[in-house]
Structure 1
Amino acid sequence: MTSHLTSYRRQWFTDGPTARRDILAGVVVALALIPEAIGFSIIAGVDPRVGLYASVAIAMTIALIGGRPGMISAATAAVAVLVVPLVREHGVDYLFAATILMGLIQMIAGLLRLDLVMQFVSRSVITGFVNALAILIFMAQLPQLTNVGWQTYAMVAGGLVIIYGFPRITKAIPSPLVAILVLSAISISMGLPVNTVGDMGKLPEGLPSLALPNVPLTLDTLRIILPYSLTMAAVGLLESLLTAQIVDDMTDTDSNKRVECAGQGGSNIVAALCGGMGGCAMIGQSVINVTSGGRGRLSTFVAGAFLLFLLAVLGPFVGRVPMPALVAVMIMVSIGTFSWNSIPNLRRHPATSSVVMLTTVIVVVATHDLSLGVLAGVLLSGIFFAGKVQRMFAVERDETADGAQAIYRVTGEIFFASVDRFTRAFQSEGTATRVVIDVTGAHFWDISAVGALDKIVARLRRDGREVEVVGYNRASADIVDRFALHDKTGVEMGLAPHR
């Protein structure tokens, strides 16, 4: 317990330079969250304050109870697109109720250690996920770059020059923050005809207040919100865990995925009670935070707290921030997020890995659904893996000089995908009257493998041959003793034969 508290304290209270970088990074993220939250609110069909208040509540809460310091969570498009029918048919209060249930489900997922499911997501899927998100982030900026004047393009280009050039002068202040401030000053002082944050939607005034959703506590309400809550919880956890892994890689640190699952749940409950929609981790804003120097919980908390300050105190000024400045920041995020090494690796890596990565990218970009893309990648990875492993076995046949005994030496993995080839290897037995099947170098994984062995033994015995199976390892012996139909002799340590 003491070590956990010490680690938690270290994630908050760091030295002066690190704390300053966390604070400045949080300020940059807060500014970048505003147009995103408004846009996601529009997608969901709710008032902009629903997305903005959600971003405030989620960011501040996850900083306290999350498992990945430095990662930014807020209202997201991945969750917003899921609730459109719920809001349209039942109203915003049912959205709040569904978000509370979503949070409870995520907390239960944390207790059940469902974060371990991430072990089945291959590196190719994660690379595809990252590349697809980078493409989607860039595509999301295109509406701000079409049917606009030359001033917009000039400001975006100027913003990119500042973002990539200012670190050559000093890294004490995040270059995205400098770009936003400089371009805002130029736009406001010169009255340039460019889109502003205020054009995205009306900014809320005042602070959010705590309130329970105004819905009846009945089974009918549960029946309405449960399907949405389950889907939001699954998509939110999937995106959060993948983003946490990416931040782990970027910072070369570990995170507590189980705590992150529960923290996401708690954050969504707080967001709903504050009149906000559901959310999850945001890879774009997390990349902004990390590249701006944010590493600790303080950066995430400042992002939420400064966003609240902007909305409550500086709303009119924030509304005048030019969108080209934020577009430049998001283009930087897109460029920094994309795994450029994955392009030459298409030729260097195995073809199956490249196919999995490209499939994940194509499905995500085509559907704008991160969960579908990751699901497609995981399923394809599983199919390729099963196909690879099912070929990793061999059966060799030897006969005694007199031809009376045949010995089959089986090596490799026997499971549902390899049982066909395993069975076919015993088609030609010759004239031997006694058959020994040596499985010392093999492993039987499932009941399909045991069933195949039963089938082989039964057929050989029907042909009048004496059959002996020897050499089971302990795990194979256990599953054979439990499920095999041929004689069970209580194999121990794989040494006793089955006759």
Structure 2
Amino acid sequence: MSFLARFLPPWLCHYQRNWLSGDISAGVVVTLLLVPQALAYAMVAGLPPQTGLYASLAPLLIYALLGRSHAQSVGPMAVTSLLVAATLSKLVPQGGAEYAVLAVWLALLSGLMLLSLGLLRLGLVADFLSQPVLAGFISASALMIVLSQLGPLLGSKGGGATLPALLANLWAQRLSFHPGALLLGGSALLWLMWSRRSLAAVLRSVGLAPGAAQLVVRAAPVLALLAGMLAAANWGAASGLRLVGEVPAGLPPLGLAWLPWSRLPDLVLPAFFIALVNMVQSLSVAQILALPRRESIEPDRELIALGACNIGAALSGGFPVTGGLTRSVVNADAGAQTQLSSLISALLMTLIVLFATQALFFLPLAVLSATIVASVLAMIDFSLLRRAWACNRADALAFIATFAAVLLLGVDSGIMIGLLISLGSWIAKSGQPHIAELGRLSGSEHFRNVRHFSVETLPGTAFLRVDESLYFGNARHVEAALLAMTTPGIQRVVLVMSGVNRIDLSALLMLERLDDTLAARGVLLWLSDIKRPVSMVMDKAALNPRFAGRIFLSASQAWQSLSPQRDYQI
């Protein structure tokens, strides 16, 4: 490998000419989608529309150089934007200079956290949010986004970080609704919903190729924006219709706005939750894109790239960003083969910011709101709740609790409660592990639960299996449960440890106490199926000598040794 190749992204070192047309077409299509999304998600975040454009420039370029997913498109995302608004609206009023500064620092802090997690190979932090909790959070956040856009759709400001506040503000502003905004926004929303469901079929019926028809469907938001801008330019501005207005031309200055140190503690925890949501979102998108190509992702590498993208967004006056599922799927469907498509999008976005921002003046906010509503409605999904209710009520309750917390307490509180529910659920399940009494299937070496199978048992011997690793959180419960299962008439207990993958000092001390307590009752404790990592810990803690001669390789060996007579069936 040459010296230069070591510093180039892998896709550039092995680029093939036949990939170029797909990357160019994908770059153009994603740009058409990204412009309205960037403007709309900046509005969701409570920031000026140009901030969304700024937040799209550096991340596209940085991810192309550092990321590994061939079609991941990094930029503003709906749920992240809502988290920004929910966090900052509690600290300062929207629209001011300090609000924009705090948004920049949220991007910087979350970027530094993501970068640190990637460098320390701690991508497993993403697993702290269980799937039911994450699904409940995303569905509730999407519903909040939809409700937050009802105000602009109706021509008023709306506002509010919780469901009661949103509904109260809509009611208070009911007299300021604008009929023109409702007409334009409603028409745009109907068009977007219809195009998503039926436009591709109509285009295919008139002879358009399926791929081309799908691209036209993806461009439906752009057509809605153009129609709205044309209508507003002709009569909307004079009627008092709320428009995007003047969007400054030119690239944002590079640098970091000064933040008083007293403000920093207010941002650390929200930045962590934003980083956590962005991490889960980006890794999920990368995995979805990798599956059809039978590729694998490097989570820690993705975190490094995503962290650098957020730092880049902060230095260019943006706000937190992540991989967007819609844009990334569109990028892949449009033919993206490498991250060159993102470089092309970055170039086109730069040209738009430099020379085409005046064209955005007449863009109605109602139409932008319609594009937001249409894009996030699909995120409101209760299918996982139905599955959880059928197979695990605890997961279903976690979904419901997170969903309700987001609606009633706000997005930032909801994600915190969701995280606590995820961790609490894991602690509760691992803290009271399943313990089974085993017997042998006749004529075999296989052992099963005596409650569910017809099995043989040894007189005076109990085979007990713990189906969980042993640690400080469950040591006392396991000890009490094992003692309770050692009923009168039992002289020997075989603790089957096939389900124990890890053990700590608290659990080792528990085994010592258990051995002593059973011995005082005249019961001898034996161990079997100890895995090598557990055995090594026991050896270091000098526990193996205590059980010398009382450790079996398997439950079957224990059965053979403790059986009152030799078993010749096996």
TM-score (norm 1): 0.77
- Alignment-mate amino acid for residue 368 of structure 1: V
On the 8 A contact 1:62/1:73 being kept in 2, the answer is no
On the 8 A contact 2:29/2:219 being kept in 1, the answer is no
CA distance 1:313–1:30, change in 2 (3 Å)? same
On the 8 A contact 1:436/1:470 being kept in 2, the answer is no
CA distance 1:40–1:189, change in 2 (3 Å)? closer
For residue 218 of structure 1, what is the aligned residue in structure 2?
A: none
Deviations 1:456-491 (A, max 9, x none): 22223445x373534351344334444577963678
In structure 2, how many angstroms separate the alpha carbons of the residues matched to 1:55 and 1:203? 15
Q: Say whether 1:332 aligns with 2:374.
A: yes
On the 8 A contact 1:59/1:73 being kept in 2, the answer is yes
In structure 1, how many angstroms separate the alpha carbons of the residues matched to 2:433 and 2:403? 27
- Alignment-mate amino acid for residue 235 of structure 2: G
Deviations 1:193-213 (A, max 9, x none): 5845425xx522322222354
In structure 2, how many angstroms separate the alpha carbons of the residues matched to 1:137 and 1:98? 20
On the 8 A contact 1:159/1:183 being kept in 2, the answer is no
On the 8 A contact 1:74/1:281 being kept in 2, the answer is yes
Match of 1:70 among 69, 72, 86: 72
On the 8 A contact 1:203/1:315 being kept in 2, the answer is yes
Match of 2:29 among 24, 28, 33: 24
For residue 526 of structure 2, what is the aligned residue in structure 1?
A: 469
CA distance 1:359–1:66, change in 2 (3 Å)? farther
TM-fit CA distance, 1:413: 2.7
Q: Say whether 1:273 aligns with 2:315.
A: yes
Q: Say whether 1:368 aligns with 2:407.
A: no
Moved more, 130-139 or 246-255: 246-255
Corresponding residue SS for 1:439? strand
- Alignment-mate amino acid for residue 206 of structure 1: G
- Alignment-mate amino acid for residue 55 of structure 2: A
In structure 2, how many angstroms separate the alpha carbons of the residues matched to 1:171 and 1:485? 65
TM-fit CA distance, 1:110: 0.9
- Alignment-mate amino acid for residue 357 of structure 2: G
Corresponding residue SS for 1:320? coil
- Alignment-mate amino acid for residue 272 of structure 1: A
Q: Say whether 1:227 aligns with 2:265.
A: yes
TM-fit CA distance, 1:180: 2.7
In structure 2, how many angstroms separate the alpha carbons of the residues matched to 1:12 and 1:225? 49
- Alignment-mate amino acid for residue 118 of structure 2: G
In structure 2, how many angstroms separate the alpha carbons of the residues matched to 1:285 and 1:190? 32
- Alignment-mate amino acid for residue 411 of structure 2: H
In structure 1, how many angstroms separate the alpha carbons of the residues matched to 2:547 and 2:424? 40
Structure 1 gaps of 5+ residues are 216-220
Q: CA RMSD in A?
A: 4.2
On the 8 A contact 2:107/2:321 being kept in 1, the answer is no
On the 8 A contact 2:527/2:551 being kept in 1, the answer is no
On the 8 A contact 1:238/1:371 being kept in 2, the answer is no
On the 8 A contact 1:240/1:281 being kept in 2, the answer is yes
Q: How does 1:33-182 map to 2 (within 5 A)?
A: 33-42=38-47, 52-68=53-69, 69-74=71-76, 76-83=81-88, 91=98, 100=108, 102-146=110-154, 147-149=177-179, 150-152=182-184, 153-168=186-201, 169=203, 170-173=213-216, 174-182=218-226
Deviations 1:312-364 (A, max 9, x none): 32222212123343333223212333335336535544323322333332233
Match of 1:237 among 275, 279, 296: 275
Task: Give aligned pairs, total.
Answer: 476
Corresponding residue SS for 1:437? strand
For residue 407 of structure 1, what is the aligned residue in structure 2?
A: 461
Corresponding residue SS for 1:210? coil
Corresponding residue SS for 1:438? strand
TM-fit CA distance, 1:33: 0.8
- Alignment-mate amino acid for residue 198 of structure 1: V
CA distance 1:479–1:308, change in 2 (3 Å)? same
In structure 2, how many angstroms separate the alpha carbons of the residues matched to 1:205 and 1:308? 10
TM-fit CA distance, 1:112: 0.6
On the 8 A contact 1:33/1:55 being kept in 2, the answer is yes
In structure 2, how many angstroms separate the alpha carbons of the residues matched to 1:292 and 1:135? 27
Deviations 1:93-140 (A, max 9, x none): 677567545533432221111212224543323433432343233223
Match of 2:508 among 428, 450, 474: 450
Moved more, 469-478 or 422-431: 422-431
In structure 2, how many angstroms separate the alpha carbons of the residues matched to 1:491 and 1:194? 89
On the 8 A contact 2:153/2:370 being kept in 1, the answer is no
Match of 2:433 among 390, 414, 434: 390
For residue 423 of structure 2, what is the aligned residue in structure 1?
A: 379
In structure 2, how many angstroms separate the alpha carbons of the residues matched to 1:250 and 1:336? 17
For residue 244 of structure 2, what is the aligned residue in structure 1?
A: 198
- Alignment-mate amino acid for residue 303 of structure 2: C
